[in-house]
Amino acid sequence: SHGTATMGGAVSVNPSGELILRSSSIIHSTATEYGGAIDVDGGKLTIENSFIGLNSVSADSGLGGGGVSVYSDHGAHISNTTFHGNTQANEAGDGGGAVYFQIVNSGPLKIFADITHCTFVGNSDASGKASAVICVENNAFVRPANSIFADFSGRNLNVYGGGDFESQGGNFCDDSTKVVRTTAEGTSPYLLDHLYDYPETNPLLSSLTASGTVIPHHRLQSGSPAISYAFQSTASIDQLG
């Protein structure tokens, strides 16, 4: 916690490196450019059962990924993780209050960032592009499944430069996820367009707590529309174990 750096306030992953983060918390870290908590520059990233919270990139020179920035052709895998209160603080930044995903070479192969059973709450992006997740460049794809996007920012998700989403279903978002893009960039104007996605829906989350586990999280309140609505989940455990 409380790390500072130009790229990756707590952790920086170089092109030959790989970070596997499990059952961990990264908090109150700051980067001046990319990745308030973690910056991946060409390397590999896996995050499981963790908490990325209250990290940021600078208001003066910050670019993307208040929580995590990935610039790599290896993709990324993030599961059972809560992103809370991360900030991309620069009004002229590239976006992604919690996660910024961009590939290096926009070749013919799709590169995926898998976001599975994750929760996004209270993240912000001063540029207004995307408080939770932004995906950049042709053939870069974010693949969300059974995740909750509840920043209540007006725009949780976005794409740029040909980036796209391939929803796997079971996702809840407090806004419509509608974006402006040409037909060539995608057939739907909605990023969460799976039959079993639930846009414009308040998931009714409780306040942040670490009760019952060492990893901070947001429990579903009684009556939450997200209870028992995971779609074709193969996960044996959730964020609470």
Tokens 């603080």 identify what position?
89
Question: What's residue 201's pLDDT?
Answer: 98
Q: Could you give the CA distance from residue 52 to residue 41 in angstroms, rounded to a whole number?
A: 18
With bands split at pLDDT 50, 70 and 90, how would you rate the model's confidence at 184? low
Q: What is the C-alpha separation between 171 and 136, in angstroms, rounded?
A: 21
CA 51/CA 215 separation, integer angstroms:
6
Q: Is beta strand 217-220 parallel, antiparallel or unpaired with respect to 205-209?
A: antiparallel
- 94 or 241: which leads in pLDDT: 94
Q: CA–CA separation, 238 vs 221, rounded Å?
A: 16
Closest to 161 (Cα-Cα) out of 143, 134, 188, 187: 134
Buried b / exposed e over 188-202, threshold 16 CB at 10 Å, is: bebbbbbeebbbebe
Is the pLDDT score of 188 beyond 90? no
Distance (Å) of CA 138 to CA 74, 80, 230: 15, 27, 29
Average pLDDT, the chain: 93
**Average pLDDT score over residue span 180-205:** 84
Measured CA to CA, the distance from residue 207 to residue 150 in angstroms comes to: 12
**What is the rounded distance in angstroms from the CA atom of residue 218 to the CA atom of residue 152?**
15
Q: What angle do CA 213, 10, 142 make, to 5 degrees?
A: 75
Query: Looking at residues 81-97, what average pLDDT do you find?
Result: 98
- Six token digits for residue 63: 């670019």
The dihedral through the CA atoms of 201, 204, 208, 213 has a sign that is negative
Q: pLDDT per residue over 107-165, tens digit each?
A: 788 999 999 999 999 999 999 999 999 999 889 999 999 999 999 999 999 999 889 99
| Beta partners for residue 72, in sequence order | none
How many whole angstroms separate alpha carbon 72 and alpha carbon 40? 7
